[in-house]
Amino acid sequence: MSTNEDTNISKNQELNWFLVLWYIHIHLIGIYGFWLLLFETKWMTVLFVIFVTSINCLGITIGAHRHYAHRAFEAVKPLKYFFLIAHTIAGVGPLYNWVCYHRIHHKYYGTDKDPYCSNKGFWYSYLFSNMMNSNLNKDELTKIVDMRDIDNDTCIMIQKLLYWIIIIPITYLISISIPMEYWNETLLNSICIMGFLRLLINSSVSRMVNSAILVWGLKRGDKYPVDDNSIFYITKSYWLNYHYLLPWDWKSSEFGKYDKGCGTLIIKIWRDLGIVKNLKTSSTEDIRKIIQDLGSKKISLTEAIIELQKLSEEEVERENLRWAYDLKSVAKDMVKARVLKSGDGTHDVWGWGDKDQTQEEKQQAIVTYTSSTKDQ
């Protein structure tokens, strides 16, 4: 593991009081903007803020998260530009920083190296961790996690260099001026809705993707296993288990669904149009079934892994499920170490291409819609 074991991200950090004041203003004015959206604004402004915010969220979830942080698929250059622009307009910080800290978070979840350490509680993970001054410079961060693919992306590095110069005209002035210019929206409504309310939604989505959903998982000794993601009481989705097991699976949505949701649907459309390729996933019917049954059957993860091994043995003769044998052979080393998130940093892969990703894991993955062929 290419990291200094003494490196500690979440300890000895100090609050950035400018960010504290900024977040206070975002939330107070954003809430007022929501009231204006409901009772005072023009209907065109309502549609416009929904449209722009949706684009921003695509830049965060599909762009920054699935594509750049986890390398779940490859995209054509115009789509990469779209991701970069959408993420910039979202106003949640440079894309480079977002990807870097999310990879570190995945690689060291639950340890002092986790920048959004959920062991410190909900408010630290969701909010306060985003108000801290980083105690690491770029060289120290790159020792913790591999960022060479991002370093080699010229557009991302330009955005990182110029971000605090371009954010005001691109993120705020243009979006605020459009409602005023084209349908005579008031200045107050435009600022509060297109400025602060939109930024409040975008920053909330960004923080949720990074850390907040982790905190609602039940603890050891509770009714359900430690990895239960109890934010999803209705669906009982065990997204956390699966996403940390195979973070490069493009079908894993940000908020608890597998192979469903708006983001996944959009990726499927892009796939059929040929603008995304090399989508990485796994034959995970048995894996997902076992994970989803954890809540309803009240079985432990150890029992689930044993059952998964049995299913793998039953399917080993099927030619189209060759992955079952591979999974069985690495279940002890890969599944147990990576699914049982004990907070010891053993689940140490941020996504596709991590240097600690094993060859077995790569062989298990199914890469569809490659450059030369398309799976029907």
Q: 116-140 burial string, b = 16+ CB within 10 Å, else e?
A: bbbeeeeebbbbbbbbbeeebeeee
* 237 half-sphere exposure, CB direction, 13 A CA radius: 20
Residue 245, CB-side half-sphere exposure with 13 Å CA sphere = 27
Domain identity same for 209 and 301: no
Same domain, 176 and 303: no
The whole-number pLDDT of residue 344 equals 44
Q: Which long-range contacts (CB under 8 A, 24 or more apart) does 37-45 make?
A: 37/193, 37/197, 40/189, 41/185, 41/189, 41/193, 42/179, 42/183, 42/184, 42/185, 42/189, 44/179, 44/182, 44/183, 44/185, 45/179, 45/183, 45/185, 45/189, 45/190, 45/193, 45/194
Number of domains making up the chain: 2
- 3-state secondary structure (DSSP) of residue 15: strand
Q: Please, which residues bridge with residue 217 across strands?
A: 229
Verify that 214 and 290 share a domain, yes or no.
no
* Strands 279-281 and 366-368, sheet pairing: antiparallel
Q: What is the pLDDT of residues 47-94, one digit of tens each?
A: 999 999 999 999 999 999 999 999 989 999 999 999 999 999 999 999
Q: Do 290 and 210 fall into the same domain?
A: no
Out of 184, 218, 252, a domain closes at 218
**295 vs 234: CA distance, rounded Å:** 11
* Angle between helical axes of 43-58 and 198-207 (0-180°, round to 10): 30
| 157 and 306 both lie in a single domain | no
pLDDT at 108: 81
Does residue 132 lie within any of the structural domains? yes
Q: Assess whether 212 and 290 both reside in one domain.
A: no
- Quick check: is 35 in a domain? yes
Mean pLDDT of successive 10-residue segments in the chain (376 residues)?
47 79 95 96 97 96 94 93 96 93 84 78 80 70 82 95 93 94 96 96 89 51 41 44 72 76 92 90 59 56 55 42 31 46 52 70 63 47
* Dihedral angle sign, alpha carbons of residues 34, 39, 42, 46: positive
**Domain-embedded: residue 185:** yes
pLDDT of residue 310: 57
Sign of CA dihedral 354, 108, 15, 194: positive
Query: Does any domain span residue 333?
Result: no
Clarify whether residues 96 and 205 are in a common domain.
yes
What residues are paired with 281 via a beta bridge?
366
> What is the spatial distance between Cα 273 and Cα 248, in angstroms, rounded to a whole number?
21
Give the pLDDT confidence score for residue 289 in this predicted structure. Answer: 59
Decide if 129 is inside a domain: yes
The range of the structural domain enclosing residue 297 comes to 285-325
**Inter-CA distances, 263 with 60, 73, 150, 151, 358, Å:** 11, 13, 22, 26, 28
φ, ψ dihedrals at 126, nearest 5°: -85, -40
Neighbours of 38 (CB within 10 A): 9
Residues 173 and 308 in one domain: no
Beta carbons of 351 and 103 less than 8 angstroms apart: yes
| Cα 59 from chain centroid (whole Å) | 11
Domain identity same for 80 and 191? yes
Question: Which of 175, 202, 218 marks a domain boundary?
Answer: 218
Residues 101 and 180 in one domain: yes
Whether 11 maps to a domain, the answer reads: no
Q: Do 57 and 193 have their domain in common? A: yes
Confidence (pLDDT) at 320 = 32
207 and 123 fall within a common domain: yes
In this prediction, residue 300 carries a pLDDT of: 59
Q: Report pLDDT for 6.
A: 46
Question: Would you state the pLDDT for residue 114?
Answer: 81
Q: What is the pLDDT of residue 136?
A: 63
Q: How far apart are CA 199 and CA 277, in angstroms?
A: 31
- Which of 168, 188, 218 is the last residue before a domain boundary? 218
Per-residue confidence (pLDDT) for residue 127, from 0 to 100: 85
Q: Record the tokens describing residue 73, joined without a space.
A: 């698929």
Q: How far apart are CA 17 and CA 269, in angstroms?
A: 43
In a domain, residue 292? The reply is yes
Pairing of strands 74-75, 366-368: unpaired
* pLDDT value of position 131: 86
Residue 352 CA, chain-centre distance (Å), reads 14
Closest CA to 246 of 141, 170, 354, 320: 354
Give the distance, in angstroms, between the CA of residue 42 and the centroid of all CA atoms in the same chain: 33
What pTM was estimated for this model as a whole? 0.73
pLDDT given for residue 167 in this prediction? 92
Q: pLDDT value at position 67?
A: 94
Residue 257 domain flag: no
